[in-house]
Amino acid sequence: MDKSKYRDIAPYEGQDVIDAVNRIRAYPKFLSNMAEVLYAGNIIKTKWKSHQMKEMIPPLLDQVKSYDDFQRLITAGVFLPTIERNSMSSFTFSGQENLDRHTPYLFISNHRDIVLDCALLDYALLQTDMPICEMAIGDNLLVNQFTTDMFKLNGGVTVKRNLPMREQYMESLRLSRYFVELIDEEKKSIWVAQRSGRAKDGIDKTNPAIIKMLYLSYKASGISFKDLIKRCHIVPIAISYQYDPNDINKGREEVSKKLHGTYTKKRYEDLVNMLRGLRRFKGDVHLHFGKPLTGDYENADEVAMEVDRQIHVGYKLWDTNYLAYDLLQGPTRFTQKYESLNTKKFLDRYKGLSEDLRRIILRSYANPVVMQMEALGM
């Protein structure tokens, strides 16, 4: 694999890692900003932890020579354990027996949080002694040099968006080659969301265009579609959050689309949503590894259907999901599933919202129940 062809989209390597680490060191608010992200809402603790980080982080940065080092030492070593302690009741995972540590995978997951979906995947991989993966991210998140450095030091692969049609097609060809060469030649795994943008309504459906993109640059090579899919070792990932810190914002976006047919994001809106997702309470979080796709798939639609089926079956449904389902569909089917939930406290989060917005939010919690029942034939 000729990495020089992909330098602008690939994670940092070699001297680029060292340069990025030096820029982060020089960034005047790096440690205080990280403390604010990790300990939001507690001014005293933020100041104390910021001081503590000034002693802890620089020696760790001295050891960083690759994005793998940064993920292990900084992201999974400091940031994610802190996020887990401060904003989750628990983080669990299952299905790791489906993986072989010597096999590279294309992980395709449902997309609920801008950065945590993939970050928690890497966190789970590290806890099971599996190699970590690269992650495909839209260039809309690279708002400045600092965020670019942070993403590329965490294995970020840049997906360029909003290009003219011809350039977009050529970029898709290059991205296709990068994905397959990374897995087939470099023996490294990569994560991609099942569709562009987070699911705002709780309905997780894979866009077949993502699967088609994999085959774009290989059509003329003589490799069949089914053989290429086998070569990519696709593993569906289902991630389930008990509470979505961005549920109201996602609901407002859906209301806007319903009323006006479109929604225009404000500047830095993705960055604000990303920080909210990291900081705010998520309750219990579970990640499930599906089984690698090994069948003879004739087309992208068949692959997408199997990815969806495994994601829907793999959900860990929480009390919030069952409560929302009963509130919308009927009051008694799943009452035993949320007996210990403080339903008043949960619903008080949506006081003062319009009935339309409230129902959209509840549907986002209820839809995983609907999809899992459909996948199980219930």
Same domain? For 115 and 187 the reply is yes
Is there a domain that residue 188 lies in? yes
Which structural domain range is residue 128 located in? 3-13+79-316
Is there a domain that residue 308 lies in? yes
Same domain? For 181 and 251 the reply is yes
Same domain? For 276 and 376 the reply is no
Is there a domain that residue 261 lies in? yes
Q: What Å distances lie between residue 63 and 33, 60, 66, 70, 152, CA to CA? A: 21, 5, 9, 8, 17
Same domain? For 239 and 321 the reply is no
Among residues 316, 337, 352, the one where a domain terminates is 316
Is there a domain that residue 278 lies in? yes
Per-residue pLDDT of the chain (378 residues), as tens digits, is: 888 899 999 999 999 999 999 999 888 677 777 777 766 655 555 666 666 777 788 899 999 999 999 999 999 998 899 889 889 999 999 999 999 999 999 999 999 998 999 999 999 999 999 999 999 999 988 988 999 999 999 999 999 988 999 999 999 999 999 999 999 999 999 999 998 878 888 999 999 999 999 998 887 778 899 999 999 999 999 999 999 999 999 999 898 888 888 877 787 788 888 888 988 899 999 999 999 999 999 999 999 999 999 999 999 999 999 999 999 998 889 999 999 999 999 999 999 999 999 999 999 999 999 999 999 998
Is there a domain that residue 202 lies in? yes
Question: What's the number of domains the chain is made of?
Answer: 2
Is there a domain that residue 62 lies in? no
Calculate Rg over the CA atoms of the chain: 21
**DSSP secondary structure, 90-111, as one string:** EEEEE-GGG--TTS--EEEE--
Please tell me the predicted confidence (pLDDT) of residue 297: 95
Please tell me the predicted confidence (pLDDT) of residue 27: 83
Read off the CATH number of the domain in which 150 is found. 3.40.1130
Among residues 316, 337, 364, the one where a domain terminates is 316
Look up tokens 């990790």; give the residue: 38
Is there a domain that residue 285 lies in? yes
Same domain? For 333 and 299 the reply is no
**71 and 77 in contact (C-beta within 8 Å)?**
no
Is there a domain that residue 102 lies in? yes
Distance CA 334, CA 348 (A): 21
Same domain? For 311 and 335 the reply is no
Same domain? For 310 and 324 the reply is no
Same domain? For 376 and 281 the reply is no
Distance CA 104, CA 117 (A): 19
Please tell me the predicted confidence (pLDDT) of residue 264: 77
Same domain? For 202 and 248 the reply is yes
Same domain? For 289 and 234 the reply is yes
Please tell me the predicted confidence (pLDDT) of residue 28: 67
Q: How big is the CA angle at 96 (ends 94 and 97), to the nearest 5 degrees?
A: 115
Same domain? For 217 and 237 the reply is yes
Same domain? For 291 and 304 the reply is yes
**DSSP class of 144:** S
Among residues 267, 299, 316, the one where a domain terminates is 316
